[in-house]
A and B are shown apart, each in its own frame.
Chain A
Amino acid sequence: GEDVEQSLFLSVREGDSSVINCTYTDSSSTYLYWYKQEPGAGLQLLTYIFSNMDMKQDQRLTVLLNKKDKHLSLRIADTQTGDSAIYFCAEASWGSSNTGKLIFGQGTTLQVKP
């Protein structure tokens, strides 16, 4: 079945790196996403990785994918107080019979201490 798991909370100091982890169960996943949600706001797409990739880097963000273990991580370098938010991992198995549907994890609350 489809399931995405994340740890619920992470606390780091400003300037440190943050690593948020996610595991998924659907081996047919084609895309894996990271979204950020600030209080009272919608979801902001941070980055995504195609399932045939191992790594993707985008400025301070690095996504690592271990397909064998179905493990995805998001590393935020030089974490700032503005990075405090809830981070959601999501997976999608796009296909003619499964469009537009993302399966989300529970979200990881990132707390950045000054």
Chain B
Amino acid sequence: KAGVTQTPRYLIKTRGQQVTLSCSPISGHRSVSWYQQTPGQGLQFLFEYFSETQRNKGNFPGRFSGRQFSNSRSEMNVSTLELGDSALYLCASSLVGDTEAFFGQGTRLTVV
């Protein structure tokens, strides 16, 4: 059974640009959550999607957004990139949003 797949693995963007990251959950999983990992703030919850609806949201500015498609694949978008957005972005999938959450390898975003 394939795990959680995140693409791309690495990205370098310039301040002010926007970026879209993709996450394909484990087959059959309908919940996808996104996290930001930085050395200073650790792992922080961005948002969770289930059946194409955002059910939960963390404390991030509106520049961070996401969506989920009918096949449960999810994308997150960051607009007007800032240097502080440089981080490892991780997505996790679970059956319905509780119990076991399985993470992908992450997308390493560097903003220059």
Contacts and interface: CB of A to CB of B under 8 A. Distances in A.
A104 B42 contact: yes
Interface residues of B, number: 28
A18 to B, nearest CB: 21
Contact of A41 (B45, B94, B105): B105
A32 B86 CA distance: 28
Interface string B85-112: 0000010101001111111111000000
A94 interface: yes
A99 B56 contact: yes
Interface residues of A, number: 25
A100 B42 contact: no
Contacts of A35: 103
A100 B105 contact: no
Contacts, number: 70
Given A45-B101, A45-B103, A99-B55, A104 B43 contact: yes
A45 B42 contact: no
B99 A31 contact: yes
Contacts of A107: 42
A114 interface: no
A99 B100 contact: no
A71 B101 CA distance: 21
Interface of B: 4, 6, 31-33, 35, 42-43, 45, 48-50, 55-56, 58, 90, 92, 94, 97-106
Given A100-B56, A107-B42, 7 more contacts: A31-B98, A42-B6, A45-B101, A45-B103, A88-B43, A99-B55, A100-B32
